[in-house]
Amino acid sequence: MSSSIALLDSYPFAELADERTQSWPLVASPWNAALLLALYLLLLHFAPKWMASRQAFQLRLPLFGYNLFMALLNGYICLQLYTTSRALDYSLQCQPCKVSYDPLEIRLASAFWWFYISKILEFADTFFFILRKKWSQLTFLHVYHHSSMFVICWIVIKWIPTGSTFVPALMNSFVHIVMYGYYSLSALGPRLYPYLWWKRYLTALQLLQFALGLAWGAQAIVSRCEYQPWLSYTGVAYMLSFLLYCSAARGPKLPLAAGYQPKPVEEAYWEREKEPTKELSSGCKRGPYRMILPPPNVTGNLHLGHALMATVQDVIARQQRQLGYDVQWVPGTDHAGIATQVVVERTLAATKGKTRQEIGRKAFLDEVWKWKAEKGAGIVQDLRQLGCSLDWQHEYFTMDEQQANAVSAAFIRLFEEGLIKRRNSLVNWSCALRSAISDIEVETLEIKEPVEVAVPGYEQNVLFGRIFDVAYRVVDGQLDNDGQPEEIVVSTTRPETILGDVAVAVHPADPRYIKYRNRKEVLLQHPFRDDTIPLIFDIAVDMEFGSGAVKLTPAHDKFDFEMATRHKLTGRRVFTESGEIDEAYPEFQGKPRFEARDLIVERLEQMELLREVRAHSMQLPICSRSKDVIEYMTVPQWFLKTKSMCEAALSELKSGRLQIMPSTFETDWERWLTDSRDWCISRQLWWGHQVPAYEAFDSRGNSCWVAATDEKTAREKAISKLGTKEVRLTRDVDVLDTWFSSSLLPFSVAGWPNESYKEKYPLDLMQTGHDILFFWVARMMMMGLKLTGKAPFQRILLNGIVCDAQGRKMSKSLGNIVTPQQVVQGASLESLKATLQQSSDAGVIKPEELRTSTEGLVKMFPNGIRECGTDALRFTLLSHNIKHHFINFDVTACYTNKLFLNKIWQAMRFTLGSAQSLGITLDEFETMEGVQLSMWDRWIIGRLAETLAICSESSTNYNFHMATSALKHFFYQNLCDVYLETTKTAIRNRTHDAYVHVGTLTACLSWGLQALAPFTPFVASELLQHVPLNIELKLSEYQDPKLQAEVADIVSVCTNVRQMKSRNQISNRHSPKLSLFAQNEEAETILRRHLAQIGVLTRCGCVELELLNEDSKFSKKLNFFSTAGALCSFGITIKEDFPIPKEQREEIIKTNKKKLKKLVNELQKYKVRVDNEAFQLMADSATKTHFNNRIKELQAEIDNLIRLAA
């Protein structure tokens, strides 16, 4: 043990230590100093992380007490050093250190020991900064100064506690008296700031200290002072390091760039937010708030529709975090079966000249997974660029292992409950894809007249828009007057399906066919088959369509299928899955359907059965993915029975448990779920979740279907069903509809079918586009209720479809498709064209689409797209009412919002610069309580309170456009254009009010930017680095309607004056003089209170005010004149050096006449309303008073305008 102690006590120069101080606390052992320094540095490392999840502490009273104590302590040290050094007759230039036990020497050493202790206590400066989250104060200089001063002071107190040591200690203590004195007073709040004007000299005082310390050390070296020379050299180097650092760190005067540039701001944001979700979810106290991002398809990058949806959800997420919720917003991507397979097939054909059939299933799926990896990464990057604060740790893909397990579990459970069945039924069929497709993937092409349409697989376009009248001869029918066999003429737009006709139908009330009602049975000879088909009667037949007689082909038409089902007729299939004529019809076998059409029409004409061909309008169903003409086909498919599930989903709405916003979509919800049909959930694709079903065969020829995740389980189930162990299994090669897997997401993402899913289920909100309300949202509700017994969400928020500025849907043919990235980063016309060309080269768009897209692009963006930045894009998207059916996005408006954000940036620069000129920092305005505010200070804070109230309300009802409008009006019109302008004179002159104005600006920027942050996170985060958060200010106390109305009237007066100056191009060189004529004494009092502000806001150097009276004749002495609302009329006089042309005077008169006419019309409307009997009965007293006051104001303004023009 003794050897260990000896080892600890052995260190260089230990024997040279001053024996007088070795027994004093914290002096003898270097390990005490090392431990204290280590603890300090550890505090610097861990304390900020500990505070990251906590709110900043105010600590006003502890700060006051600490700083006051430090000021008194340094005062005591300073006094002791000065009086003792004087008593010892110490030299200021050079005083060697000698070991003396003279009481005065000991007293001097003791004073320096307290100086050393004060450096330990100063570590609390750093701790207070951390507790208050003043990260900008934790600079390298701060840490370097506190660490190095502590070490130097320990060395001095241990080796040379007396002698010239007192000089730098005396200077430093004196400076600290001033500094801590200021800090203690400033801790009491902004009310004292006007009296702390000397703060601006603190930096100069510190620099003076460094300079004097450097000069003192240098002279000690030059004069070869016997005081420890190594310490002199150390002191010179130390002071020099401070001066050099301060010189290098001065840089730009303000910590903000001269103008707002989105790219560096966004890059700085991501540097600060290495783990954005963790940081944003800090301090949560209200429990979880759950959402999922509707997964974008991995078919390409995000479009503006995705950007809108993601921005809406991100704003909600950020607002909920501000309210204290732990937001769990899970991102993901959708495999998008058909869409992805089609685009990969196109790319494969364009780049390698191969089809999927040629390379095989495994190789093709490898290509799709490569595509998914590339596009999935691009989608993630796009979402990050949008600033989406998603929970990336729980990101999913709809074909990952967890999702695959959930899909299989759902299918098996529904199958075993008898809700999933396999049967032949009519489905939407794409011959190009050779697969069934969902209704949402069917587009309708309106055809008004015959037109040629490009169809995949055909070298020439196919003609549509015609109707064919074809004669069906009645078997055993009578001859007509011309001796021709009796016939019924059928009208059809699809002669190619005649081969599969099973009947002809007419309306039972159609007089043209009433005669056949009395016959027992009417049979018609089929034109191409050696058999007959019946004539049936059905009220569903439209008598106005063609001849009123229609042919029935149940295997290829929805209408025909339903009618045939009612009449128990069996369909006959005409086409193969690839769209060619089936082998059952040898004459046309193997012919593509539309080529067969021409051949069939030709044969009908040869058989003299074609009666007429004429133009006919029609709706042509098109596959949105393959652009093929949809064929309705009867093929074996898997169907989910949805009736009971639809009823349960409908009950959620009718019971009030489910809320749909906007409520207009409640009728759609009811209509879709009431008219429910079985859901075809299988697709004949290679990309997707393979159906977990096996067809089992036994040796006797019996078969059955079983659902299982693997062959072993399937075999066990098949043996149980078939009653034999001799079973042969074949797994279904089809895949499930993408919407099936997507419908499970609210609970599959949470972990279902594992029981742990209940911890993250249900969602608090489902937000998506209204176009998939039924296809996705309703099905999520159905599946959630069925598989979990609980609704997956109780609130649905639907947004509209993003269109271009003219209200047109974005399409390749119009060339008006804009990507978020192009808006954010900007794009030249050449780069826009190049992007289209790349899509064409990759096979994503067709050559003809490239041509039309390029033409539209040149027309829409002749000069390209200017860089707007992410914040401007987000703000612009949410400046629209997202609940509207269509949202017209204008790139020009987006650039305007970038300029708006620059306006806020400049306001922050002005505030920082103003604080700098006053010698204060914005961090000092952590409270505004007790500060005496001027009328205009109270007005702007009142406007802030009203704006924040609107933002709060809009976040509740999701009317984000009201929040963005209110924020833009507050920052632009109220804060920047009005209030900030009124403060410049006081700040420039450093008056008493200047400090209050800077504090008011700080509060407005802090609160306003926090409200703006969910919409524009990048710029708001950057600017909020420079203002204190959670400023103590009771905003509700400043909501003064009377003051708001008064200042609004003043601003209105100034606006009228500025408009007059603008119209007539009046500038400062004209030396404009403004004359105000108050309407009455009350108006005169109001105007006089604000004359200084009126002069500033109107930029008129001279402002005069007089009371308007009946004898006033002023139009001749005024160059320009008009009225400015109810308060006053005004006139502007300019220097005589600028004569006013006659034409300009006439224009002034003309403008005033227009204004007079407008005022008269408005007055008339008010009078008509007030005179209305219903108004008098229904309106409350406040409304009546408002209307009557408005009538008086309008009448007074009209009278004044007439007098002005006289």
Last residue of a domain, one of 979, 1007, 1039: 1039
Last residue of a domain, one of 397, 415, 438: 397
Same domain, 47 and 189: yes
CA 361 – CA 370 distance, rounded (Å): 14
Whether residue 1189 lies inside any domain: the answer is yes
Which residue, among 114, 55, 58, has the nearest Cα to 84 in the 3D structure? 114
Last residue of a domain, one of 397, 426, 453: 397
Whether residue 715 lies inside any domain: the answer is no
Same domain, 102 and 245: yes
Instruction: Quote the tokens at residue 558.
Output: 């929805």
pLDDT the model gives residue 278:
38
CA 923 – CA 999 distance, rounded (Å): 10
pLDDT the model gives residue 830:
85
Residue 459: count other Cβ atoms within 10 Å of its Cβ: 4
Same domain, 1059 and 1024: no
Q: What is the pLDDT of residues 166-214, one digit of tens each?
A: 888 899 999 999 999 888 888 887 777 777 777 777 878 888 888 888 8
Same domain, 105 and 30: yes
Whether residue 441 lies inside any domain: the answer is no
> How many angstroms separate the Cα of 873 from the Cα of each of 304, 307, 896, 956?
10, 9, 10, 23
Which residue, among 782, 823, 786, has the nearest Cα to 802 in the 3D structure? 823
Which residue, among 711, 685, 250, has the nearest Cα to 429 in the 3D structure? 685
pLDDT the model gives residue 8:
44
Whether residue 384 lies inside any domain: the answer is yes
Same domain, 1009 and 1068: no
Same domain, 529 and 593: yes
Same domain, 37 and 161: yes
Whether residue 652 lies inside any domain: the answer is no
Residue whose token pair is 């004195």: 181
Whether omega before 662 lies within 30 degrees of 0, making that bond cis, reads: yes
The pTM of the full predicted model, rounded to 2 decimals, is: 0.82
Give me the number of domains the chain comprises: 5
Same domain, 958 and 931: yes
Same domain, 1030 and 1154: no
Whether residue 404 lies inside any domain: the answer is no
| Contact partners, residue 664, CB within 8 Å, separation at least 6 | none
Task: Calculate ∠ Cα 962-964-966, nearest 5°.
Answer: 65
Name residue 1122's beta-bridge partners: 1130
DSSP state of 301: S
Which residue, among 650, 684, 657, has the nearest Cα to 431 in the 3D structure? 684
| Contact partners, residue 617, CB within 8 Å, separation at least 6 | 446, 447, 448, 449, 465
Range of the domain at 386: 284-397
For 1034-1086, strand residue ranges (E) read 1073-1078
Output the domain CATH number for residue 911: 1.10.730.10
Region class of 353: left (phi > 0), else alpha (psi between -120 and 50), else beta: left
Distance between first and last Cα of the chain: 110
HEC string of 868-916 equals CCHHHHHHHHCCCCCCCCEEECCHHHHHHHHHHHHHHHHHHHHHHHHHH
Output the domain CATH number for residue 519: 3.90.740.10
Helix, strand, or coil here: 478? coil
Same domain, 32 and 180: yes
Same domain, 388 and 471: no
CA 1032 – CA 305 distance, rounded (Å): 40
User: Are 482 and 489 in contact, with CB atoms under 8 Å apart?
Assistant: no
pLDDT means per 10 residues, the chain with 1206 residues, are: 44 70 87 90 88 79 92 94 91 84 91 92 90 81 87 86 86 92 83 73 82 84 79 79 66 76 92 55 70 92 91 96 94 92 88 90 93 92 94 94 96 96 90 86 90 90 94 83 82 94 94 88 92 94 92 92 92 92 90 94 94 92 88 92 95 96 95 90 94 93 93 94 91 95 96 94 96 94 97 96 79 69 89 78 68 78 90 96 91 94 97 87 80 92 96 95 97 95 91 90 96 96 90 85 93 92 86 89 92 92 84 65 85 79 76 84 87 85 85 82 72
Whether residue 834 lies inside any domain: the answer is no
pLDDT the model gives residue 1114:
57
CA 568 – CA 1177 distance, rounded (Å): 66
CA 312 – CA 325 distance, rounded (Å): 17
Same domain, 211 and 235: yes
Whether residue 748 lies inside any domain: the answer is no
